[in-house]
Amino acid sequence: MDVTLSRNGARALRVFFAFVVVFLYAPIVILLIFSFNNSAVPSFPLSGFTLHWYREFIGNSDLRGALETSAIIAVLSSIGAVLLGVLASIALVRRRFRAKPAVSALLLSPLVIPYVVFGISLLLLFHQLGIPRSILTVVIGHIVICIPYTILVVMPRLQQIDVSLEEAAYDLGATRLRTFRSVTLPLILPAVVSAFLIAFTTSFDEYAVASFVVGTRVTFPIYLYSALRFPSQLPQVIAVAVVVITVSLAVVLAAEIGRRVAERRLGALESG
Amino acid sequence: MRLDPTTPSLLGLPLAWLGVFFVLPIAIVAAYSFDVYSLNPGPHGFTLGAWRGFVHDPVYLRLFWKSVKMSLTVSAIIVVLAYPLAYYLALSGTKRKYVLLLVLIAPFLTSYLLRVLAWMVILGDQGVVNSFLFWTGLRSPAHPISQLLYSRFAVMLVLGYIWLPFVALPIFVSLESLDRRLLEAASDLGASRLQAFRRVTLPLSLPGVAAAFLFVFIPTLGEFITPSLVGGATGYMYGNQIVDLFGTGFPDWETGSVLAMFLLGVVTVLTVAFSRFLQPRQVATD
């Protein structure tokens, strides 16, 4: 007898799982359907097929500008967060120091701060220092938010790597930097890439903190938020939504597949 | 123990970044809440005035309590819904569990605002649900079900929708790491499936459940985006109040800072209280 589930129990859970997946994806499918619907109001009955909304959004320069701004911010933030996250991960995994629990708590604490609190904190900081709000102020905030994610992704990978590989490099006369470049980095590269992707998508989608520190160049989520308050723009926004959701799902899948392929290769290398 | 000379150079930059752009900003909010800094010109110095006002004004605490109830309800419901999902993935022996896990979590990794948008399209007066009811004649177009959108119900539904996939993850991890031999032992000793679940599986998965609960409760408690888009007047939450106090209408940064520090204090207490459930496994086994 299987201790965890009876046959009927397993069947019931499978049905429940399918039901939840339908619940999770139905709203996305509904957006997809209405993005092709030939009507200014998204409602039933469907009134005909059109590509009008997609054409309109491709021609919308404000929207393209917002996407571009978000892309720039996401690239800068993820580079910064990965850099700081990798440094911190190496210290946490490879070095011994007394304050380690406190340091790791501080490094991970942006995970649990309510973003509304962090947003106003940054707003007050920049106000107090007289720093005008711009793309850079958003990047600063997003790096803080993304550091814990990069640490949580890079640290486990670093722990899997045999320290003796690095020690062998030192013994052969490599400097610390050289060892990192030729031994450690190639081994943690899959984790670094997924940390980069997670940070990128987090920053690209981030509204709460950005809404407090954004300058005159609005980001994509901020553009979206204001568009959501004007129903006339809704069908166009739905078309953008479909494109963005499709792209982000594709990135997620690609990252996952890439990570698995890389892990399998590394696994084969290490055992072979 | 001897400090490795390279440790400061590794930790210096990350700690400096968080010191200047995370800890210092919070200290400034605290300073505003005690009127050490102020938006108003003129003399000011350390007072407890804003804090006293907060404690004595029933509006803010009542709003906080309402938000607590809303996020408690949402968190409890979706943890209960997510548990069987995680159980199915971790313990049913399905071969494609990681693929199914990815299917479950993928919506969480797409845009937050766009998922709110989807529900605005579904719940509005002219939305999918109502227009479907008009179309089928179940309801006359003059009387849409207007409580669907811009209500407390809408806020809770959308928050639940947004966080459900994420909640399954920590529960899955704790069930996945369960030593199956314990269950076999329970079975050998004559326990039924239900007894084995109640006495072995459930207690051992509680850390995952606690972590899942906290990971939803904290962000939903300070939530302001979803309520401002689908909440209307009845869905207004504590986070919206904070935003409004820093807004362009009648800014009151001192009171806003008090509200923010209070929320941060509650969240910190919760996090510390639950911290043994939140330790990433790697740190815990160090």
CA dist., res. A251 & res. A56, Å (int)? 25
CA dist., res. B128 & res. B135, Å (int)? 10
pTM: 0.89
Residue A139, amino acid: V
Token pair, residue B224, equals: 């302001």
Nearest-10 crossing angle of helices A115-129, B253-273: 130
Indicate yes or no: CB of B14 within 8 angstroms of CB of A107. Answer: yes
CATH architecture for segment(s) A53-271: Orthogonal Bundle (1.10)
How far from B99 is each of A253, A256, B85, B137, CA to CA, in Å? Answer: 10, 10, 13, 41
Indicate yes or no: CB of B29 within 8 angstroms of CB of A124. Answer: yes
CA dist., res. B161 & res. B114, Å (int)? 12
Contact between residue A226 and residue B113 where contact means Cβ atoms under 8 Å apart = no
The reported pLDDT for the residue numbered B286 is 35
pLDDT of A18 strictly over 90: yes
The reported pLDDT for the residue numbered B95 is 78
At B146, give phi and psi (nearest 5°). -90, -10
How far from B219 is each of A66, B57, B75, B222, CA to CA, in Å? Answer: 26, 25, 10, 5
CA distance B110 to chain A (A): 6
- Residue by residue, DSSP assigns A62-120 as HHHHHHHHHHHHHHHHHHHHHHHHHHHHHHHHH---TTHHHHHHHHHGGGTS-HHHHHH
Q: What are the structural domain ranges in chain B?
A: 58-284
pLDDT of A112 strictly over 70: yes
At A49, give phi and psi (nearest 5°). -90, 135
Q: Give the torsion through C-alpha atoms of B219, B154, A213, A226, to 10 deg.
A: 160
- pLDDT level of residue B281 (50, 70, 90 thresholds): very low
- pLDDT level of residue B1 (50, 70, 90 thresholds): very low
- pLDDT level of residue B28 (50, 70, 90 thresholds): very high
Instruction: Please indicate whether residue B180 or residue A209 has the higher confidence score (pLDDT).
Output: A209
Largest Cα separation within chain A, whole Å, is 73
Task: Give A-chain residues touching B28 at CB under 8 angstroms.
Answer: 121, 124-125, 128
Token pair, residue B79, equals: 């943890």
CA dist., res. B185 & res. B7, Å (int)? 47
CA dist., res. A66 & res. A220, Å (int)? 5
pLDDT above 90 covers what percent of chain A?
A: 44
Task: Give B-chain residues touching A31 at CB under 8 angstroms.
Answer: 114, 117-118, 121
Q: What are the structural domain ranges in chain A?
A: 53-271
- In angstroms, the first-to-last Cα distance of chain B is 16
Indicate yes or no: CB of A122 within 8 angstroms of CB of B25. Answer: yes
What are A55-80's pLDDT values in tens digits?
A: 888 888 888 899 999 999 999 999 99
Token pair, residue B103, equals: 């299917």
Chain A residues 6-65 within an 8 A CB cutoff of chain B:
6, 9-10, 13-14, 16-17, 20-21, 23-25, 27-28, 30-31, 34, 41-45
- For chain A, the average pLDDT equals 88
CATH superfamily for B58-284 is MetI-like (1.10.3720.10)
Residue B277, amino acid: F
